[in-house]
Structure formats: structure tokens, C-alpha cells
């Protein structure tokens, strides 16, 4: 249980404890969660007051050969971390509820080969959602994470139409009980943030952590710009593809074994 | 008040006879006394309205006093400017751990009774915003409770 502690959110830190907890979180980021599997290798939390660096490009490699059919661990972890599940009654149809990551089952008709993979925001280098946004709410952070600035989002949903991965959702209902680190609200479009609040603290995204914790190890998170990072090394070794590579969006999420 | 008494004086000056004038003067004095009395009744009422009689005053309860990023006078006047200038730095550039942050506000100012910065007139953010009639929409999206209490993992 003690190994899991860095994954948990810290308990209501008082201002005087904040600096200390940040240091502990940074130190704990490299903790082994299982033999040979680390939550995150390179990252320490960025020092306070420093903006995200353009020298880093966060990315994911998803090994579909290790992604079990019917396993929804990453989806559940995402919903828990970002407080996506709505408690109580809702009048919103199931197809309209916020969804940041989903599992897709595929079958190659010619051969009958089946595979399963998680699909979410691909954090494109040239994101179409940013191109079409009329208010500048959709933006790409310096470290490659594509986000919605909900202070500017007017809820027009052009980005939802522009996204080839159907990665974004619209919030139809007033919300309560958000994660303090993940503000969300009615009338805005939202999508996978690559758990930017965790990444900034030196932790891996919740889906990656959950996948590793459950022993699947199908998701690898890291800095694509660092040739020594685990993800860069693996990308050099194995064949991986971008989904809809024909669109030349330069996705930060790549898939192995499709 | 002065206008009223001059009006009374003018009325008595234009009165026809000395006896009638004497009666008019007494009536005028009585009117003036009445006006003064009614005025005296109203003065303390309006004063008490300003001090919180009819208008509910903000109830400011601060558990950790003196721990704020700026003195109270400056915070009262400028907290919104501080927050709105920090906002794009945090959201768009990813600056974390800044001195000014909405979460920082909530960590200190969430009520010790119900753990929230909003909800009733006794909750820090809401009490003042109700008093000055400024709509508070931060918490349509942001969690008004500190730390991990908003979500159970």
C-alpha cells in the first residue's frame, strides 16, 4: 500500500506545508510501483514559478498487444482522477456524457485478428481543434499538451467537430465535487489533459499509473524529445504508428501492434 | 428645514390681524416642532441601516489570520486583479506553485464549519460577494473545498 502513496492526491495541504509536500511528491515520483516498473522515470516536478518548457514534449506509447480486451482500468482511473462520474440523476443521454478516454475493440475482417486499445486526445503537434477555435480557448502548451482554456471557451463545439479522434466532450449539466486540481464546468468543451496537474508534479497520468499498477504495462509515458527517456528508447526499438497518420497531425500518442 | 421655517415665517407675516397672527405663529411653531421630532426619529434609523440594521453585513471569519499574500486592505481591493493576472500564467504557460492562486485562497479561507468557501453568508467568499452584489462564478467550475476532500478516491 505504501508504494501507492505517490499516486494519491495529497491531503489538504496548508500553505506552510505546500512546499514540503511538493518536494516529497517530486522525490516520490521515481518510486518503483512494481519490480522494474517506475511510474515515471525522468521527471521531477517543475520548480515553482517556472513555465512549461518547449524542450519537453510529453507523449504516450500504447502497446496494444498488452492491452486486454474488456479491461477498463485506464478509463476508470481517468474518471476517478478527473471526477468525471456524475453522482445522482442525470437527464443527459449516455452518448453525451463527458468521456476523456474510451476503449475501442477492433477486428481485422480479413484475418479475424482482434485487438483492443484506449483512445483519447492524441495531443497533436498540429492540432485541428486549435486551428478551428474561434476564441483561442483551445491551445497547445509549450510541452505539447493540448488543452482547453475554459475561461475562454464559449462552448461552440467546433473543436469537437474538427477532432478526427472524437476526443472531446461537452459538459451539459452543472457540476459539483470536482477534483480541486481539475476545474470543470457546464458550457465548456473538455478533453484529456494528459493529467497535466499530475505531470506538473512529476507524476504520470492516472491512466498510465493505473495500467502499470494493475500489471498490464500497456502504456508508457515520457518525454519524446529526450533521446534517453524510456519512451524514446522503446520508440526506436519497436514499430509504432500514429492513428490517422494520413492527416499528418504529429500525434503525441503512438500505438504499437496495430 | 430652513426653507420650512422661512415658509412659516412668511405665512405669519402675511396674516391679517394681530390675534389671528398669534394663533398662526403657535400653529407654525407646532408644525416646526413636529418636523424636528419626525426628523430626529429618522436620523438614528438611517444610521443603524448603514451599520447593519437592514443590510446584512458580511461575516468575515478568518481562521489563519496574517497568513495572506498581502495585507487585508490590498486584498479587498485587488484580489480579483491578482487572480486574473495569474490565471493565464497557470493555465496557458503551466506555471505552478505561484504565490497567488485560487486554490491558495481556498486552502485558508474555506470555512472550518463546513469546509467550503461558499454556500452561506458565513462562508468567506460568499459573505463579501453577497454584500457588494458581485456575482461569484469561480466556483461554477472550481472546487470551493480545499485539498482532496472534493473527490474521494
Question: What are the domain boundaries of chain B?
Answer: 2-50, 72-150
Find chain A residues with C-beta within 8 A of B140's C-beta: 174, 185-186
**A185 and B143: CB-CB below 8 Å?**
no
Q: Fill in the DSSP letter of residue B43.
A: H
| Mutation for B interface: A15, A25, A76, A185, most B CBs within 10 A | A15
Which of A130-144, B51-65, B73-87, B99-113 shows the lowest per-residue confidence on average (mean pLDDT)? B51-65
φ, ψ for residue B105 (rounded to 5)?
-55, -50
Residue A215 near residue A71 (C-beta atoms within 8 A): no
Write down how long chain B is.
153
Q: Select from A174, A168, A173, A216 the least CA-distant residue to A193.
A: A168
Gyration radius from chain A CA atoms: 18
We find that the CATH architecture of domain A42-256 is 2-Layer Sandwich (3.30)
Complex prediction ipTM: 0.79
Cα–Cα distance measured from residue A185 to residue B143, given in angstroms and rounded to the nearest whole number: 10
Using pLDDT thresholds of 50, 70 and 90, give the confidence band for residue A46: confident
How far, CA to CA in Å, does A88 sit from each of A83, A85, B148?
Answer: 14, 10, 21
Question: What's the mean pLDDT when you consider all of chain A?
Answer: 87
Question: What's the mean pLDDT when you consider all of chain B?
Answer: 76
Cα–Cα distance measured from residue A121 to residue A195, given in angstroms and rounded to the nearest whole number: 11
As a whole number, mean pLDDT of residues B116-120 equals 90
Closest Cα in chain B, distance from residue A186 (Å) = 8
Cα–Cα distance measured from residue A240 to residue A237, given in angstroms and rounded to the nearest whole number: 9
Using pLDDT thresholds of 50, 70 and 90, give the confidence band for residue A84: very high
Cα–Cα distance measured from residue A250 to residue A133, given in angstroms and rounded to the nearest whole number: 19
| CA angle centred on A147, ends A144 and A153, rounded to 5° | 150
Find chain B residues with C-beta within 8 A of A175's C-beta: 141
Per-residue burial over B108-129, b = 16 or more CB atoms within 10 Å of its CB, e = otherwise: bbbbeeebbbbbeeebbbbbbb
Chain A residue with CA closest to B146: the answer is A12
Find chain B residues with C-beta within 8 A of A174's C-beta: 140
Among the partner-chain residues B89, B141, B146, the one whose CB lies closest to the CB of A150 is B141
Which of A131-140, B30-39, B113-122 shows the lowest per-residue confidence on average (mean pLDDT)? B30-39
As a whole number, mean pLDDT of residues B91-106 equals 93
Question: With 80 as the cut, is the pLDDT of residue A91 above it?
Answer: yes
Cell numbers 475554459 correspond to A150
pTM of the model: 0.76
Cell triple for residue A135? Answer: 476564441
Residue A159 near residue A138 (C-beta atoms within 8 A): yes
Residue A129 near residue A168 (C-beta atoms within 8 A): yes
Cell numbers 424636528 correspond to B36
Find chain A residues with C-beta within 8 A of B98's C-beta: 48-49
Find chain B residues with C-beta within 8 A of A49's C-beta: 95-98
Cα–Cα distance measured from residue A133 to residue A154, given in angstroms and rounded to the nearest whole number: 10
Closest Cα in chain B, distance from residue A11 (Å) = 6
Dmax (CA) for chain B in angstroms is: 95
Residue A169 near residue A191 (C-beta atoms within 8 A): yes
Write down how long chain A is.
258
Cell triple for residue B88? Answer: 493565464
Pairwise pLDDT comparison (A10 vs A233), residue with the higher score: A233
Gyration radius from chain B CA atoms: 29
Among the partner-chain residues B67, B94, B142, the one whose CB lies closest to the CB of A51 is B94
Chain A residue with CA closest to B109: the answer is A14
Question: With 70 as the cut, is the pLDDT of residue B66 above it?
Answer: yes
Question: With 60 as the cut, is the pLDDT of residue A24 above it?
Answer: no
Among the partner-chain residues A16, A186, A196, the one whose CB lies closest to the CB of B140 is A186
Cα–Cα distance measured from residue A238 to residue A46, given in angstroms and rounded to the nearest whole number: 30
Amino acid at each position: 500500500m505504501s508504494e501507492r502513496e505517490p499516486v494519491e492526491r495529497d491531503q489538504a495541504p496548508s500553505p506552510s506545508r505546500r512546499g514540503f509536500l511538493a518536494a516529497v511528491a517530486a522525490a516520490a515520483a521515481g518510486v518503483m510501483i512494481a519490480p522494474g516498473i517506475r511510474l515515471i522515470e525522468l521527471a521531477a516536478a517543475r520548480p515553482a514559478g517556472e513555465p512549461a518548457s518547449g524542450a519537453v514534449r510529453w507523449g504516450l506509447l500504447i502497446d496494444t498487444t498488452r492491452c486486454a480486451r474488456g479491461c477498463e482500468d485506464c478509463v476508470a482511473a481517468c474518471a476517478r482522477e478527473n471526477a468525471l462520474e456524475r453522482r445522482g440523476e442525470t437527464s443527459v443521454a449516455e452518448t453525451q456524457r463527458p468521456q476523456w478516454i474510451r476503449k475501442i475493440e477492433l477486428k481485422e475482417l480479413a484475418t479475424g485478428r482482434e485487438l483492443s486499445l484506449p483512445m483519447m486526445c492524441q495531443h497533436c503537434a498540429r492540432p485541428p481543434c486549435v486551428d478551428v477555435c474561434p476564441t483561442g480557448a483551445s491551445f497547445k502548451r509549450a510541452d505539447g499538451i493540448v488543452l482547453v482554456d475554459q475561461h475562454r471557451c464559449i462552448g461552440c463545439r467546433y473543436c469537437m467537430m474538427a477532432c478526427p479522434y472524437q476526443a472531446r466532450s461537452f459538459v451539459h449539466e452543472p457540476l459539483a465535487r470536482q477534483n480541486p486540481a481539475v476545474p470543470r464546468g457546464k458550457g465548456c468543451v473538455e478533453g484529456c489533459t494528459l493529467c497535466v496537474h499530475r505531470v506538473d508534479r512529476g507524476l504520470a497520468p492516472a491512466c498510465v499509473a493505473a495500467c502499470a499498477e494493475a500489471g498490464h504495462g500497456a502504456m508508457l509515458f515520457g518525454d519524446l524529445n529526450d533521446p534517453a527517456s524510456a519512451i524514446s528508447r522503446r520508440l526506436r526499438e519497436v514499430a509504432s504508428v500514429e492513428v490517422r497518420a494520413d492527416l499528418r497531425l504529429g500525434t503525441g500518442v503512438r500505438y504499437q501492434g496495430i | 428645514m430652513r426653507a420650512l421655517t422661512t415658509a412659516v415665517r412668511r405665512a405669519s407675516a402675511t396674516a391679517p390681524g394681530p390675534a389671528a397672527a398669534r394663533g398662526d405663529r403657535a400653529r407654525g411653531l407646532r408644525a416646526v416642532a413636529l418636523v424636528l421630532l419626525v426628523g430626529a426619529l429618522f436620523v438614528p434609523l438611517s444610521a443603524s441601516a448603514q451599520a447593519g440594521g437592514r443590510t446584512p453585513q458580511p461575516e468575515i471569519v478568518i481562521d489563519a489570520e496574517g497568513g495572506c499574500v498581502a495585507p487585508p486592505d490590498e486584498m479587498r481591493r485587488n484580489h480579483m486583479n491578482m487572480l486574473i493576472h495569474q490565471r493565464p500564467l497557470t493555465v496557458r504557460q503551466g506555471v505552478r506553485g505561484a504565490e497567488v492562486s485560487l486554490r491558495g485562497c481556498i486552502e485558508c479561507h474555506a470555512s472550518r464549519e463546513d469546509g467550503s468557501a461558499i454556500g452561506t453568508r458565513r462562508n468567506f467568499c460568499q459573505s463579501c460577494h453577497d454584500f457588494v452584489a458581485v456575482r461569484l462564478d469561480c466556483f461554477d467550475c472550481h472546487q470551493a473545498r480545499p485539498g482532496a476532500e472534493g473527490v474521494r478516491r
